């Protein structure tokens, strides 16, 4: 990379600092200088002076100073090199940013690109049938498959190693590229075998490695290219090359858990989405994400592993948080990832999660406070000390002050609410049974609607029961009419949505019901679903007595099934300390 101080001065002379700032700020002129409210701190009276002739600025309120490059690095979160590239392109200043690569580096880059093309081409072959079936099952469109350059690592005509050898590459070059490896008997073989391939690119869009997913239950399910000087997972985010421009423009970056989540969301129009490379989000990846958004959003899977990984990111981020670096979180329902949630429910329902993220402090408090009962003074003191220890890790003093204040407020409100609602939190068995009866009644009706093959038999059995209230029984009788009885589930729902039964049907078809009673789901085996409904109807009292062992209300059960426990929280802190 070669540019001089003179190159930077030429760029500054060609781009007006005033024009750049007036895009987002109201400017007023006093003499030869321009003034506005400082973009680096909150103020009502302008104290930010712009000297357009010198291409510099100074804030008399917070002492911020610099030039057009400072605006891009400190305000827009560009790296200095990216800022120079962007501004050089805008100003028409030609700079050679490509450092001279060694012959070995050029060979590796060429091998990785040719390998990627070979993987892509294999998807067109008949032996890739299972791979294509998997992609169809995940509802990926052809253009998205091509855009992400997905491929398959098998070809009956030739191995990748043989294919590349015919391109005149040496064994040493191929081994250095990590697309092949030495077997136990010292023979060279393909690194990826019969796997769906995800090319991994750097910020410039160059392929630097691959991820491979097994399609036949081979373990491990996912593998990545080995670590090397050109492929270092901790410094890469999957899809950042495509996401970075949208992320900067909208100041929003969504961090998911896996490759398929990223691709599914991208296909649905969410372009500023990335993921780590099959490992926990690292400190370096978090710093990288802040270069493109001041407030990235972490949304990992809704299972216990995903919640644990999210909490670890939250704790890890605290020493790094500042006035220009925030973090927020989205918690999905248990056992759902973004792709599975969208496919089972809808993208519009998924958008509701995106519109309601939790702040970093809210997420930490909600997860940590649900892990301890806080029933006595010792537990309250221990938890309060835990919160203090977390806050002490924040290095930015202003952030530390406000975060501590917010945490203490949340803690106080929880204790006050807990004291006022002790009786509510310890529901009687009678109230719990009533709540569970209501939910299971909904599951029976959902089963009847979703199970077209056995709808008539299920409704007949339900109509004989005394379990249902008046509104539920009216719905059961309505569904037994000929106009509903033989309709496919989607057509039935469409027909009933404008009737008085619409709200009751929505309650029955909710994801909470499906989670508690899987047999009511649309995709559940029809015969098994029917058998389960009959069994549950006949043995409801036994089922309810077992569920009475739950020592909190059903709503709390649904919300906290994927919460961390107290010992897990403490172990996460120790893990982060060990990594440091």
pLDDT given at position 98: 62
pLDDT at 237: 96
Q: Where do runs of H (alpha helix) occur along 166-319? A: 171-177, 240-250, 259-267, 283-290, 304-317
Determine what percent of the chain is predicted with pLDDT higher than 70: 91
pLDDT > 80? residue 423: no
Could you give the 3-state DSSP secondary structure of residue 40? coil
338-387: pLDDT as tens digits: 988 888 888 888 998 899 999 999 999 999 998 888 888 888 999 999 99
H helices present in 451-565, as ranges: 455-463, 470-479, 482-485, 489-496, 502-508, 511-516, 526-538, 540-547, 554-560
Residues in contact with 568: Cβ distance below 8 Å, sequence separation at least 6, in sequence order: 308, 371
CA distances 521 to 89, 146, 238, 250, 561, Å, are 54, 33, 33, 37, 19
Confidence grade of residue 274 (pLDDT, cut at 50, 70, 90): very high
- Residue identified by tokens 């709503």 is 555
Rg of the chain's alpha carbons, rounded to an integer? 29
**pLDDT > 90 fraction of the chain, expressed in percent and rounded:** 48
The separation between CA 55 and the C-alpha centre of its own chain, rounded to angstroms, equals: 40
| Residue 421 pLDDT class (50, 70, 90 cuts) | low
Q: List pLDDT tens digits, range 461-477.
A: 888 887 888 899 999 98
Place of tokens 């421009």: 245
Whether the pLDDT of residue 546 is over 90: the answer is no
Q: Is 163 exposed, middle or buried (0-12, 13-18, 19+ CB in 10 A)?
A: middle
| Residue-level pLDDT at 2 | 61
Helix pair angle (304-317, 566-579), 10° resolution:
50
Dump pLDDT digits (tens) for 77-135.
788 888 888 898 888 888 877 656 678 889 999 999 999 999 999 999 999 999 999 99
Task: Give the contacts of 133 (CB within 8 A, at least 6 positions apart).
Answer: none
Nearest residue to 117 (alpha-carbon basis) of 169, 153, 142 = 153
Considering the chain, what is the average pLDDT of its residues? 87
Q: What is the pLDDT of residues 490-531, one digit of tens each?
A: 988 888 888 999 899 999 998 888 888 889 998 888 899 898
Residue 427: the pLDDT is 47
Q: How would you classify residue 200: left for phi > 0, otherwise alpha for psi between -120 and 50, otherwise beta?
A: beta
Q: With a threshold of 0.95, does the pTM exceed it?
A: no
Residues in contact with 90: Cβ distance below 8 Å, sequence separation at least 6, in sequence order: 15
| Nearest partner of 263 among 338, 332, 334, judged by Cα | 338
Residue 372 tokens, joined:
């301890």
What pLDDT score was predicted for residue 552?
41
> In this structure, what are the phi and psi dihedrals at residue 133, rounded to the nearest 5 degrees?
-60, -40
């Amino acid at each position: 990379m070669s540019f001089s101080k003179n190159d930077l001065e030429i760029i500054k002379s060609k781009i007006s600092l005033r024009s750049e700032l007036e895009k987002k700020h109201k400017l007023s002129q006093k003499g030869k200088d321009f003034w506005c409210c400082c973009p680096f701190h909150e103020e009502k009276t302008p104290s930010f002076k712009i000297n357009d002739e010198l291409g510099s600025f100074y804030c008399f309120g917070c002492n911020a100073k610099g030039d057009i490059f400072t605006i891009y690095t400190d305000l827009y979160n560009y790296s200095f090199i990216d800022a120079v590239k962007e501004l050089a392109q805008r100003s028409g200043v030609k700079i050679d940013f490509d450092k001279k690569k060694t012959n070995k580096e050029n060979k590796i880059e060429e091998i990785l690109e040719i390998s990627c093309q070979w993987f892509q081409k294999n998807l067109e072959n008949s032996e890739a049938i299972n791979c294509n079936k998997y992609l169809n099952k995940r509802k990926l469109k052809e253009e998205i498959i091509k855009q992400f350059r997905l491929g398959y690592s098998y070809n009956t005509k030739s191995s990748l190693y043989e294919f590349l050898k015919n391109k005149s590459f040496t064994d040493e070059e191929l081994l250095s590229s990590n697309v092949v490896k030495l077997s136990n008997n010292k023979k060279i073989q393909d690194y990826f075998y019969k796997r769906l391939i995800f090319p991994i690119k750097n910020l410039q869009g160059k392929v630097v490695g691959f991820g491979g997913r097994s399609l036949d239950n081979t373990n491990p399910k996912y593998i990545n290219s080995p670590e090397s000087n050109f492929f270092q997972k901790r410094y890469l985010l999957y899809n950042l090359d495509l996401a970075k421009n949208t992320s900067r423009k909208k100041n929003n970056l969504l961090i998911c858990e896996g490759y398929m989540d990223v691709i599914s969301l991208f296909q649905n129009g969410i372009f500023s989405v990335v993921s780590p490379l099959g490992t926990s989000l690292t400190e370096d990846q978090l710093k990288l994400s802040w270069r493109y958004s001041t407030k990235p959003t972490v949304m990992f899977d809704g299972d216990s592993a995903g919640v644990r990984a999210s909490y670890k990111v939250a704790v890890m981020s605290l020493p790094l948080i500042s006035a220009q670096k925030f973090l927020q979180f989205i918690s999905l329902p248990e056992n759902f990832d973004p792709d599975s949630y969208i496919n089972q429910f809808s993208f519009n329902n998924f958008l509701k999660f995106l519109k309601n993220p939790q702040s970093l402090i809210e997420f930490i408090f909600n997860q940590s406070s649900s892990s301890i009962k806080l029933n006595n003074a010792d537990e309250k003191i221990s938890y309060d000390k835990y919160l203090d220890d977390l806050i002490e890790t924040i290095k930015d003093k202003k952030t530390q002050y406000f975060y501590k204040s917010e945490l203490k407020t949340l803690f106080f409100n929880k204790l006050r609410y807990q004291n006022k609602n002790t009786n509510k939190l310890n529901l009687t068995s009678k109230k719990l049974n009533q709540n569970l009866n209501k939910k299971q009644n909904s599951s029976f009706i959902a089963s009847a609607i979703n199970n077209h093959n056995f709808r008539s038999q299920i409704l007949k059995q339900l109509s004989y029961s005394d379990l249902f209230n008046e509104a539920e029984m009216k719905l059961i009788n309505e569904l037994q009419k000929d106009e509903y009885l033989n309709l496919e589930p989607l057509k039935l729902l469409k027909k009933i949505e404008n009737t008085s039964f619409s709200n009751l049907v929505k309650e029955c078809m909710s994801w909470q019901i499906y989670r508690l009673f899987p047999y009511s789901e649309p995709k559940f085996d029809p015969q098994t679903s029917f058998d389960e409904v009959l069994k549950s109807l006949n043995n409801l009292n036994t089922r309810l007595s077992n569920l009475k062992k739950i020592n909190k209300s059903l709503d709390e059960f649904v919300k906290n099934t994927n919460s961390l426990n107290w010992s897990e929280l403490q172990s996460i802190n120790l893990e982060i300390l060990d990594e440091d």
